[in-house]
Structure 1
Amino acid sequence: MKDYIEERVLEVAKYIIESKATIRKTAKMFGVSKSTIHKDITERLPKINPQIAKEAKQVLDLNKAERHIRGGKATKLKYKSAEA
């Protein structure tokens, strides 16, 4: 694995853990695709640093469990603003 990829993977993981960010938000922040972030966290990070990989996976699992709630809030807000 190239050095710049390894550095990005560690930076991405650090960002996700510190900010509890979603894959989408992280991808936008780093200027790469969602699939790149996903591959970085699920495939590359465990090979580089298993402990950080475990922490990042916990954050992503929490985000995945909560996403239906965030989607419902966004829809509610959308229709509320459309009424006004």
Structure 2
Amino acid sequence: MKDYIEERVLEVARYIIESEATIRKTAKVFGVSKSTIHKDMTERLPKINPQIAQEAKRVLDLNKSERHIRGGRATKLKYKSI
């Protein structure tokens, strides 16, 4: 794996852990696709640093379990403004 990819993976992981950001928000901040962020967190990070991978996975799992709530709020706000 190239050095710049490893650096990006670790930087993305730190960002997710510190800000508890979603994959979509993280992708927007780093200017890459959601697929890239997902691959970085699920495949590359565990090989580079398993401990950080566990922390990032905890945050991403929490976000995944809450996404239906955020979607409901967004829909409610959308129709409230109409």
Identity %: 90
- The runs of 5 or more residues in structure 2 that have no matched partner are none
Question: Which whole-Å CA distance do the structure 1 matches of 2:17 and 2:72 have between them?
Answer: 24
Shift of 1:61: 0.2
Question: Given the two structures, how large is their TM-score scaled by the length of structure 2?
Answer: 0.98
Superposition CA RMSD, Å: 0.2
Paired with 2:76 and 2:13, the residues of 1 have a C-alpha distance of: 31
**Count of aligned pairs:** 81
Deviations 1:12-58 (A, max 9, x none): 00000000000000000000000000000000000000000000000
Query: Which aligned runs of 4 or more in structure 1 are off by greater than 2 angstroms?
Result: none
SS in 1 for 2:27: helix
1:64 offset after TM fit, Å? 0.2
SS of equivalent to 1:21: coil
Counterpart position of 1:67: 67
Q: Deviations over 1:52-79 (max 9, x none)?
A: 0000000000000000000000000000
Alignment TM-score, normalising by the size of structure 1: 0.96
> Higher Cα Rg: structure 1 or 2?
1
